[in-house]
Amino acid sequence: MKVVKTVCRYLMALLLPLIAAQSLAAGEPVGFWSFQPLRSSVPSTSNSAWPANSIDRFILARIEQQRLLPSQRATREVLLRRVCFDLLGLPPTRFQRTTFVLDRRGGAWSRLVDRLLSDPRLGERWGRHWLDVVRFAESYGFEHDLDNPNAFHFRDFVIRAFNDDMPFDQFVGWQLAGDELAADDPLARMATGFLAAGVHNADIAKVGVEQERSDELDDMVNTVGTSLLGLSIGCARCHDHKFDPISQEEYYRFVAIFERTIRGEVQLSTSATSASGVQPVLVAGEGLKPLPRLYNPGPAFYTRTWFLRRGNVKLKDHEVRPGYLGVLLGEGVSEREFGVTGDRAPAKAEGSTLRRSGLARWVTDTRRGAGVLLARVIVNRIWQHHFGRGLVSTPNDFGEQGQPPSHPGLLDWLSSELIRVGWRLKPIHRMVLCSETYRQSVLTADRSDQDGSLFRGRALRRLEAESIRDSLLVLGDRFDARMFGPGSLDSSNPRRAVYFRVKRSQPDPLMALFDLPDTLQGTAIRSTTIVSPQALALLNGPLVRRSAASFARRLRLHRPRSRLAVLAADVFSEALGREATSHELTAARQFLDQQRAAYANLARGGDLERESAELSGLVLDLTAAGLAPGEVSRWADRRAERTGLVFVPRGTGRPRLIEQATPSGQSAVLFGPGPTVLQAEDNPRVEFGTGDFSISVVFRLHPSSGGGVQILGKDSFPGQGTSHTGYFFHETAGHLRFSTRDLKSGKGPVNYLDSHGTIRRGRWHRATAVRSGRSVKLFLDDALSPDRMLVEPSPTNTDNVVPLKLGLIDESISGALHGELAEVRIYRRALSDEQVRLLHARQGREYLGHEPADPLDLALTDLCQAIFCLNEFFYIH
């Protein structure tokens, strides 16, 4: 049956153009639908009770045509969650929940909508939609991807404009020509960041300058076309547009509008957004000092615009003058009516040709210019983000290659409304949100219409990357609500995701996993992929885990003495915005119980296991406890009588015992500031042969320690026999490095691992390196799984007669330890990951005074994290 249906659809596709051609012959207006004037009349429906407003009548009329019924209204919990994510991109707060769910008076929904529409979070959410469309980023792209540190002002302008409900025609005009239309308003100039946000090649050869400028202009024209008019003007760069009425000549006339527009920085007052005072801001305009390149191979722009055959800068055909698209020019209207366009006359205002302000007038003029299309495109985007699908399902393409509107009358009606209310978007949002159409519940797949174009029932929608991350931060109580200002590249920064600095070569990994849009060209519809690395990020990623832990902590603080069932119920209501069912509660309670027991067991078992496991295979066990105060002239293994391992000073430096050195009050041995070395006496070997081994050390670098210091190790031995490989622990550039080195041939390979985690001076650290077979792992502090792993090319022979040294290993190079050691252990076996975790936990308790974690906290963290992974958390009903 499916095949037959599909065949029918193909046949329809074949026939439709014929039908269309026929109706044209019957005297209908000629031309493509999106270029037509607005036409709409609100249809009547047989069910007159359901529609709350005109939107509903348009939608219901088509549903009734299909002999179907709209879906029933969703519950208040569902609606609240839906509208909060939709308008603010955040889950509802407890306060919002009680205010709305308990508000039983009439008009509660409309009051909620009003509250949300005036919330400043709105701009951050809806501004981000716009930033997608205009390929916003804060770096140059290309090889060097240099930063544009002052590009964020455009993002701030967008957020501000959405919050203030700036009329959309003004919003557009300022982005195209804020410098010409309102030169004195800093916001207007920030708005031109729209033109400046594209890529910019900083490293081009002399021969590439013209091509680069041509690409830059193409980027501007293309972005204007897709974002404002839903037209792929850029397709006419090399030939007339294959489908839409845009000639190649018109493309180059459009290019000429931007002929002298370049990007640069100006000093502006930024009191409207972030800090008051004057700051450099990235803008576009004429007469600016161009943005720097690595070196300067040629001009930033050319003063003539050519028609380029096949788009090739070498094939100049004839010069062109600025102009607009003929198809969007009212009948009998001259381009001159929009102000200066073709004038080659020298600068009028501040050295500007005023071509872009002409463009702004043409784009927004609903009678003589492109304003009607502009309105259609933006109301469609509003609809798209409220419903997950536009009335035109190709929001960046209102041309022949795009899809026609599912509800042409509704699209036109909304466009007229937008124009009628003075291009303000909030009234349109309000109309949409207060419709019954918006408030329908999700239909199961078999009952919904196949492609969703009836808007019958609600689509299930996955959260965007930003909302995923922001929700985790909000629930985890780690949310920094500050608005505006420079962004950050730090994945752990607690501000909203819209304040990430958008560096083209460096998207945040978690965000990128959840389909962050490409920043090279505008994106109308984000993809929503489902891949396993997303699940890995949720199960194992640091941000999710940290948020789960702080969410758990918050819940326990809120109800200090709760039973498991109460805690479990809180997790559901806070994270999912609804009460848990009894099934769910049972499952969650059971889980909490089991995980708590497992954690408790782990701690208990850990103690037992430690006794045996920690001691087996132990060949060196040094601890500062028991040493006499003062100079240390002998540091013996705890079981020296058996192992015979004793360390004595070498050279003139003497280590000293420091009492109460660690946070828990344990002693430690201080090395430095001058070179201080302790060496195993009588050259006893800590032999491993080619076998496995583990080395663990508890240490601290002195606050004034230099960089690159050695901590402990065994030098490699270039002498006879097969015993030659050495190993080191040392600090390098803030990380711990463990290296093995083979100097047999005089310059053997050095293999090393650098910790992910950083070493801070003045801070105690626990580090363990484990070699098993040919793989080496490094653990630092609470990174309770291996920090890094390396595979050595060949089995390492560490049966090495060179003595083990503490403080300075290779005396031929500088970098003596200035810091303290509290414990050193060496095992002639590979500790398992689990055993290293236990070892570090014991060291944490013993030296750093760590409290053992409460098993219930840990179990609750696991539960919170599980809830963060649920489909219900990711899909909005």
Positions 454 through 473 that interact with another protein (CB under 8 A): 459-462
Asked if 858 touches another protein (CB under 8 A), the answer is yes
Nearest residue (CB) to another protein, 145 versus 810? 145
Q: Is there a contact between 711 and 731 (Cβ–Cβ < 8 Å)?
A: yes
Minimum distance between the CB of residue 651 and another protein, rounded to whole angstroms? 32
Nearest residue (CB) to another protein, 504 versus 702? 504
Q: How far apart are CA 401 and CA 408, in angstroms?
A: 17
Contacts of residue 1, defined as CB under 8 A and 6 or more positions apart, other chains included, come to none
Nearest residue (CB) to another protein, 274 versus 758? 758
Asked if 345 touches another protein (CB under 8 A), the answer is no
Taking contact as CB under 8 A, which single stretch among the options 153-161, 283-291, 414-422, 868-876 is the one that binds another protein?
868-876
Residues 129-168 that bind another protein (CB under 8 A): 141-143, 145
Q: How far apart are CA 561 and CA 420, in angstroms?
A: 58
Residues 239-298 that bind another protein (CB under 8 A): 243
Minimum distance between the CB of residue 552 and another protein, rounded to whole angstroms? 12
What φ, ψ does residue 7 adopt, rounded to 5°? -60, -45
Q: How far apart are CA 70 and CA 798, in angstroms?
A: 76
Q: How far apart are CA 496 and CA 90, in angstroms?
A: 10
Reduced to 3 states (helix: H, G, I; strand: E, B; else coil), residue 180 is helix
Q: How far apart are CA 234 and CA 251, in angstroms?
A: 7
SS (H, E, C) 525-565: CCCCCCCHHHHHHHHHCHHHHHHHHHHHHHHHHHCCCCCHH
User: For 479-504, b where at least 16 C-beta lie within 10 A, e where not — what string?
Assistant: beeebbbebeeeeebbbbbbbbbbbb
Asked if 406 touches another protein (CB under 8 A), the answer is no
Residues 65-94 that bind another protein (CB under 8 A): none
Q: Which of 157, 194, 599, 847 binds another protein (CB under 8 A)?
A: 599
Q: Which of 417, 421, 591, 656 binds another protein (CB under 8 A)?
A: 591
Output the CA–CA distances (angstroms, integers) from residue 325 to 225, 227, 667, in the order listed: 10, 16, 81
Residues 822-851 that bind another protein (CB under 8 A): 834, 837
Nearest residue (CB) to another protein, 90 versus 602? 602
Asked if 791 touches another protein (CB under 8 A), the answer is yes
The β-bridge partners of 856 are none
Residues 372-401 that bind another protein (CB under 8 A): 388-389, 393-394, 396-397, 399, 401
Minimum distance between the CB of residue 276 and another protein, rounded to whole angstroms? 37
Binding-site residue total for another protein (CB under 8 A)? Answer: 119
The length of the chain, given as a count of residues: 877
Q: How far apart are CA 258 and CA 217, in angstroms?
A: 7
Q: How far apart are CA 224 and CA 796, in angstroms?
A: 62
Asked if 547 touches another protein (CB under 8 A), the answer is no
Asked if 533 touches another protein (CB under 8 A), the answer is yes
SS (H, E, C) 572-616: HHHHHCCCCCHHHHHHHHHHHHHHHHHHHHHHHHHHHHHHHHHCC
Minimum distance between the CB of residue 556 and another protein, rounded to whole angstroms? 17
Residues 200-219: x/- map of binding to another protein (CB under 8 A)?
A: -x-xxxxxx------x----
Q: Which of 528, 573, 643, 758 binds another protein (CB under 8 A)?
A: 528
Taking contact as CB under 8 A, which single stretch among the options 122-130, 321-329, 505-513, 701-709 is the one that binds another protein?
505-513
Nearest residue (CB) to another protein, 134 versus 622? 134
Q: Which two tokens stand for residue 825?
A: 């252990």
Taking contact as CB under 8 A, which single stretch among the options 32-40, 257-265, 695-703, 864-872 is the one that binds another protein?
864-872
Handedness of CA 726, 731, 732, 735 (dihedral sign): positive
> What secondary structure does DSSP assign to 412-447, as a single string?
HHHHHHHHHTTS-SHHHHHHHHTSTTTTBPBPPGGG
Contacts of residue 560, defined as CB under 8 A and 6 or more positions apart, other chains included, come to none
Nearest residue (CB) to another protein, 142 versus 307? 142
Nearest residue (CB) to another protein, 387 versus 484? 387
Taking contact as CB under 8 A, which single stretch among the options 22-30, 58-66, 449-457, 662-670 is the one that binds another protein?
449-457
Nearest residue (CB) to another protein, 418 versus 516? 516
Q: How far apart are CA 717 and CA 725, in angstroms?
A: 7
Residues 5-44 that bind another protein (CB under 8 A): 6-7, 10, 13-14
Task: Indicate the DSSP class of residue 672.
Answer: -
Taking contact as CB under 8 A, which single stretch among the options 116-124, 159-167, 663-671, 863-871 is the one that binds another protein?
863-871
Minimum distance between the CB of residue 402 and another protein, rounded to whole angstroms? 6
Nearest residue (CB) to another protein, 378 versus 454? 454
Nearest residue (CB) to another protein, 210 versus 820? 210
Q: Which of 124, 94, 100 is nearest to 112 (CA)?
A: 100
Asked if 530 touches another protein (CB under 8 A), the answer is yes
Asked if 314 touches another protein (CB under 8 A), the answer is no
Asked if 521 touches another protein (CB under 8 A), the answer is yes
What φ, ψ does residue 741 adopt, rounded to 5°? -145, 140
Residue with tokens 């047989």: 46
Minimum distance between the CB of residue 576 and another protein, rounded to whole angstroms? 10
Where is 830: in which H helix or E strand?
none
In the chain, the amino acid numbered 35 is F
Minimum distance between the CB of residue 123 and another protein, rounded to whole angstroms? 26
Q: Which of 734, 691, 737, 689 is nearest to 710 (CA)?
A: 737
Nearest residue (CB) to another protein, 506 versus 660? 506
Cis peptide before 703 (omega within 30 of 0): no
Taking contact as CB under 8 A, which single stretch among the options 281-289, 620-628, 813-821, 856-864 is the one that binds another protein?
856-864
Contacts of residue 421, defined as CB under 8 A and 6 or more positions apart, other chains included, come to 427, 428
Nearest residue (CB) to another protein, 773 versus 849? 773
Q: How far apart are CA 666 and CA 586, in angstroms?
A: 46
Q: Which of 22, 75, 581, 633 binds another protein (CB under 8 A)?
A: 581
Taking contact as CB under 8 A, which single stretch among the options 498-506, 557-565, 620-628, 633-641 is the one that binds another protein?
498-506
Q: Which of 721, 762, 773, 849 binds another protein (CB under 8 A)?
A: 773
Minimum distance between the CB of residue 51 and another protein, rounded to whole angstroms? 22
Q: Which of 29, 31, 351, 542 binds another protein (CB under 8 A)?
A: 542
Minimum distance between the CB of residue 287 and another protein, rounded to whole angstroms? 27
Asked if 451 touches another protein (CB under 8 A), the answer is yes
Residues 644-683 that bind another protein (CB under 8 A): none
Q: Is there a contact between 766 and 757 (Cβ–Cβ < 8 Å)?
A: no
Alpha-carbon Rg of the chain, whole angstroms? 34
Taking contact as CB under 8 A, which single stretch among the options 448-456, 477-485, 626-634, 807-815 is the one that binds another protein?
448-456
Label residue 465 exposed, middle or buried (CB < 10 Å: 0-12, 13-18, 19+): buried
Residue with tokens 């590009």: 151
Minimum distance between the CB of residue 316 and another protein, rounded to whole angstroms? 18
